[in-house]
Structure 1
Amino acid sequence: MLSVESIDLHYGAAQALKSVGFTAEPGQVTCVLGRNGVGKTSALRAIAGQQPVSAGVIRWEGEDISGLTPYKRARKGVALVPQGRDIFPLLSVRENLETGFSVLPRSQRKVPDAVFELFPVLKSMLSRRGGDLSGGQQQQLAIGRAIVMKPRLLLLDEPTEGIQPSIIKDIGRAITYLRNTGEMAIVLVEQYFEFARDLADRFAVMDRGEVVLSGAREDLEEEAVRTHLTV
């Protein structure tokens, strides 16, 4: 289980997160909701180790990982699909997927069949450069690359941003499939309530760097959540 416990995060003198806490369990999706700029991405960066926390603890599978480098966290099964996707534009689709091998022992360095079952378009584009793909295809590639890492904790930062509706549905189905395997805890950062509502088992709603609402899906009132999503 992931346990984020009262973490603070600063960028210089500016405080981005204030005593933020939430959990994520295998076989469940925890959705972190909020407007742009409220600290959702900072929370994921803290979990992945890309930004150090100034207070609080991040525990993964019972271990305090707050001081570990991003690479060591990845070796422990933590995978981040960042906002903006960050694929390698000059590498082929196959090569982009194979960058996920870096945290795996040689005996496990194989692209899982599930990647192509979830995103069939990638199989037909293995030799194409990542930069030649559409935005939606790049998002599928970024998620596929994370799956290659065989993560036990998957962090998704606004995977629907700028994506056409048909691919949003594909991404939703992929998240549902990964959750239903029961092998992976998923943290999904979103600002679109409808997409999150259909996927999440738990919610944490953020505003101005703090978690202002949290709980199980059935316990949160839609109207209360939406007040923190409207501009």
Structure 2
Amino acid sequence: MLSVSNVDLYYGAAQALRGVSLEAKKGEITCVLGRNGVGKTSLMRAIVGQQAIRSGQIALDGSDLKGEAPYTRARRGIGFVPQGREVFPLLSVKENLQTGFAPVKRGERTIPDHVFELFPVLKSMLSRRGGDLSGGQQQQLAIGRALVTRPNLLVLDEPTEGIQPSIIKDIGRAIRYLKEAGMAVLLVEQYLEFCRELADKVYIMDRGQIVFEGVGADLDDPDVRKHLTV
């Protein structure tokens, strides 16, 4: 589904990514871990088209995405849940979900039933403003909005950040459901146990590079965990 090959990314003279390569396959959950400031969010922004890369290749289903704008990548099937959720606080829950219609063909602009099956609280709050929801509810709304775009690849940047444990479990169940439905899920996290339970494949980043590649069970290894200690 997604292939990232030898990607370099710069902010001015500062290099944020150094030869990064990874894959995210259909029906699998791929998790990228690392301490703060190692380049995880820069990598996600490069994948969804919010940040241009200096060199390397990002391809979806074998097709190079170079030069494609974020909205074009959304039409190609990349859904994005950014760090901090970025819901529209003055729009209702329903209106927030409907902003996901932008890359969808006019005749398909409906909210899929599975959004409310995964996150029932959204259905009961359709008329409430996004800014009035709790942090956990806003995260569910942000994921639901991404699912409205009908993605084949769902990219989530730290979906458990600042979220209460009960909603983290709900988000985990939703991610498993999407995996079983055949979606490719690419997840950036700092919550180690969340990734250990969910991930089929894990990558660990440090100083803009991939320093470890393995499977979720490898996160039990002390030699692997040392890459994540502060």
TM-score (norm 1): 0.97
Q: Output the CA distance in 2 between the equivalents of 1:94 and 1:222.
A: 44
Q: What is the match of residue 169 of structure 1? A: 169
Q: 1:198 and 2:170 equivalent?
A: no
Contact 2:59 / 2:65 at 8 angstroms: preserved in 1? yes
Q: What is the match of residue 130 of structure 1? A: 130
What letter is aligned with 1:68? Answer: E
- Structure 1: tracts of 5 or more residues without a match: none
Q: What is the match of residue 217 of structure 1? A: 216
Instruction: Tell me how far 1:216 sits from its aligned partner.
Output: 3.1
Q: Output the CA distance in 2 between the equivalents of 1:66 and 1:125.
A: 39
Q: Output the CA distance in 2 between the equivalents of 1:91 and 1:141.
A: 12
Alignment coverage as a number of residue pairs: 230
TM-score (norm 2): 0.98
Q: What is the match of residue 114 of structure 2? A: 114
Instruction: Tell me how far 1:220 sits from its aligned partner.
Output: 6.0
Residue deviations 1:45-65, cap 9 Å, x none? Answer: 000000000010001011000
Instruction: Tell me how far 1:66 sits from its aligned partner.
Output: 2.2
Instruction: Tell me how far 1:215 sits from its aligned partner.
Output: 2.4
Q: What is the match of residue 158 of structure 1? A: 158
Instruction: Tell me how far 1:147 sits from its aligned partner.
Output: 0.5
Q: What is the match of residue 34 of structure 1? A: 34
Contact 1:214 / 1:220 at 8 angstroms: preserved in 2? no
What letter is aligned with 1:6? Answer: N
Q: What is the match of residue 103 of structure 2? A: 103
Aligned in 2, Cα 1:65/1:79: closer, same or farther, shift over 3 Å?
Answer: same
Q: What is the match of residue 75 of structure 2? A: 75
What letter is aligned with 2:11? Answer: Y
Q: Output the CA distance in 1 between the equivalents of 2:64 and 2:214.
A: 23
- Structure 2: tracts of 5 or more residues without a match: none
Q: Output the CA distance in 2 between the equivalents of 1:224 and 1:96.
A: 43
Identical amino acids, percent of aligned pairs: 67
